[in-house]
Copies of this chain bind each other. A is one copy, B any other.
C-alpha cells in the first residue's frame, strides 16, 4: 500500500541548490557560528545527514555558499563589462550591475559582506575576491590616467581604489537594509561620489594637507 509520499525525492543537483539557498538564508540572518546545521536542514526541507552527504561539514558548506554567491556576483559585474568605452561609462555599468545584484540577492550579499569578514577561516576567501575588484577599479583609473598622459604611484592608486570599493560596499549595505530602495538610483548616487572625485584626480587636481 504505497501511498503517495508526502515529499518527493529529488535529484542531487536540485537538492544541493535548495540546501545552498537555505544555508545562505540562515547564515545571513544568524552568522556562521550562531547558525545551526539543524536549522539549515529544516529550512531546506530535508534532514541533516543529507546536508553532510552532499555539501560536507559546516565549514565546507559555508565555503560553498561563499563560492556560489561570489561567482554569481562576479559574473553579474563581468557580464556588464564593455571594453573600449570611456572610463566613466564603464564605471557606471559596473556599478549598475553590482547594485542590481545586491538588490536581487540581499541575503547572498549579507553572507559575503557581513559574515565572511569577521570569521577567521573565511576572511581570506573574501579578501581575494575583494582584491580582484580593487584591481579592476585601479586598472580603470590607471588606464584613464595614462590616456591623460598622467601617472600616479601604484600604491596611491590602489588605496584610492580601495576607498572607492569600500564606499560602494557601504552603499550596498545600505541598500540591503532598505528593501524599498532602488538599486539604479543608488548606483547613480555612488557615481556622484566616486566619479566626481576621481575625475578631479584624473585632471591632476589633488588635495594637500594645510601647513601646521
- Chain A residues near B (Cβ < 8 Å): 29-34, 88-89, 92, 114-115, 117-120, 156, 159-160, 162-171, 173-174, 186, 188-201, 205-210
For the complex, give the distance between the alpha carbons of A171 and B162 in Å: 7
User: Nearest Cβ distance between residue A150 and chain B, in whole angstroms?
Assistant: 14
Interface of A is mostly: helix
Do A31 and B118 have beta carbons less than 8 Å apart?
yes
Copies per complex of this chain: 2
Q: A31-B119, A163-B170, A166-B167 are in contact. List 19 more A-B contacts (CB 8 A).
A: A29-B120, A31-B33, A32-B118, A34-B120, A89-B210, A92-B210, A117-B117, A117-B118, A159-B186, A162-B170, A163-B171, A163-B193, A163-B194, A165-B170, A166-B166, A166-B169, A167-B170, A196-B205, A196-B206
For the complex, give the distance between the alpha carbons of A118 and B126 in Å: 15
For the complex, give the distance between the alpha carbons of A56 and B186 in Å: 42
A164 touches which of B92, B118, B120, B193 (Cβ 8 Å) = B193
Give the residue name and chain of the B residue nearest to A130 (CB).
B170
For the complex, give the distance between the alpha carbons of A188 and B155 in Å: 13
Do A192 and B207 have beta carbons less than 8 Å apart?
yes
User: Nearest Cβ distance between residue A184 and chain B, in whole angstroms?
Assistant: 8
User: Nearest Cβ distance between residue A130 and chain B, in whole angstroms?
Assistant: 9
**In the complex, what residues of B have CB within 8 A of residue A188's CB?**
207-209
Do B186 and A207 have beta carbons less than 8 Å apart?
no
Could you write out 10 A-B pairs with CB less than 8 Å apart? A31-B118, A32-B118, A33-B33, A114-B118, A162-B170, A163-B171, A188-B208, A192-B197, A196-B196, A196-B197
For the complex, give the distance between the alpha carbons of A156 and B192 in Å: 10
For the complex, give the distance between the alpha carbons of A164 and B189 in Å: 12
For the complex, give the distance between the alpha carbons of A119 and B195 in Å: 33
For the complex, give the distance between the alpha carbons of A118 and B110 in Å: 8
**In the complex, what residues of B have CB within 8 A of residue A156's CB?**
189
User: Nearest Cβ distance between residue A40 and chain B, in whole angstroms?
Assistant: 16
